[in-house]
Amino acid sequence: MENLTDIQNQADSRNLAIDRVGVKNLRYPLRIRDKANSEQGTVATISMAVDLPKEYKGTHMSRFVEVLNSHGPVLDVHTISGIPDELLSRLNAHRAHLEFRFPFFLKKPAPVTGKEGMMDYEVIFDVDASREEQEFIVTVLVPVTTLCPCSKAISARGAHNQRGIVTYAVKFSGEPIWIEDLIRLVERCASCELYSVLKRPDEKHVTEQAYDNPVFVEDLVRNVASASDAQPGISWYKVEAENFESIHNHNAYAVIEKKA
């Protein structure tokens, strides 16, 4: 093979280390474990990065993709956690960062008629690793319905409600919790959960359920935090809720993070 110049390995005179360098927006097919069907197919958008010591001019971008492909298309929280060690070794780095962002689908029956439809949720696997330790965070983005307690209390008829999104990030102290169980934990904390298929009896049910369970955005994050504290396998969490207000020209927002 022809001896080609390796510019990346040449020295750099600016004496500046780089915190993260790598590849972003790489789409890759995955099969993720689920409770109902053992696993499901999806497509992840992936970011991979390492630190770059001040002595080197550049990193080897192709090695990120080579490492990913060497682990195959079947990934879960266990197999993904093996990728950073290989990146650290092959790229002579001290820290590695991975993000796998993908849609996760659940078949969900309507609450009264039982009509089934597919709900999609965004999930993120985030890994930050050194040669000595590794941090793995699972995040689920869960859409919910919230109904305003103040509006209900002061209105003669009805109350304003809106769709919101809860961004729920967790670390585990032992065995990981199923993605489905994290989603259900969040949905139980809202005024009502969302469905993809609703017939008239279902619509009546979810409207009345929301009215009977009003929550502020503050209530929502506190509910999720309390439910998380009751889970012995969760060592850390961050709960962010954003309501897309239906009667205001702004969104309502709240966040709780469990201190390490």
Phi then psi for residue 187, to 5 deg, are -60, -35
Report pTM.
0.91
Answer yes or no: is 7 within a domain: no
Please say whether the beta carbons of 117 and 197 come within 8 A: yes
Answer yes or no: is 35 within a domain: yes
Which pLDDT belongs to residue 218? 97
Phi then psi for residue 119, to 5 deg, are -105, 135
Answer yes or no: is 2 within a domain: no
Instruction: Please count the other Cβ atoms lying within 10 Å of the Cβ belonging to residue 54.
Output: 12
Phi then psi for residue 93, to 5 deg, are -110, 165
Reported as a single tens digit per residue, the pLDDT across 13-60 is 788 999 999 999 999 988 888 888 888 889 999 999 999 988 888 888
Answer yes or no: is 212 within a domain: yes
Instruction: Please count the other Cβ atoms lying within 10 Å of the Cβ belonging to residue 165.
Output: 16
Answer yes or no: is 215 within a domain: yes
Answer yes or no: is 118 within a domain: yes
Q: What's the structural domain count of the chain?
A: 1
Instruction: Look at the chain and count its residues.
Output: 260
What DSSP state is assigned to residue 176?
Answer: P
Domain span holding position 247: 16-257
Which pLDDT belongs to residue 7? 66
Is the pLDDT at 213 greater than 90? The verdict is: yes
**In this structure, what is the dihedral angle of CA atoms 89, 90, 96, 98, given to the nearest 10 degrees?**
-130
pLDDT bin (cut points 50, 70, 90) of residue 88 is very high
In the predicted model, what is the mean pLDDT of residues 74-100?
Answer: 88
Domain containing 242 — which CATH number? 3.10.270.10
Instruction: Please count the other Cβ atoms lying within 10 Å of the Cβ belonging to residue 173.
Output: 10
Please report the sign of the dihedral spanned by the C-alpha atoms of residue 216, residue 103, residue 27, residue 125: positive
Answer yes or no: is 121 within a domain: yes
Query: Which one, of 59, 40, 39, lies nearest residue 48 by Cα?
Result: 59
Q: Which amino acid, residue 25?
A: N
Reported as a single tens digit per residue, the pLDDT across 160-180 is 999 999 999 999 988 888 999
* Tally of CA atoms within 13 A in the half-sphere of 151 that contains its CB: 20
Which pLDDT belongs to residue 24? 97
What DSSP state is assigned to residue 11?
Answer: B
In percent, the amount of the chain with pLDDT more than 70 equals: 96
Please say whether the beta carbons of 136 and 125 come within 8 A: yes
Which pLDDT belongs to residue 12? 74
Please say whether the beta carbons of 79 and 26 come within 8 A: no
Is the pLDDT at 151 greater than 80? The verdict is: yes
Answer yes or no: is 6 within a domain: no
In the predicted model, what is the mean pLDDT of residues 96-123?
Answer: 97
pLDDT bin (cut points 50, 70, 90) of residue 134 is very high
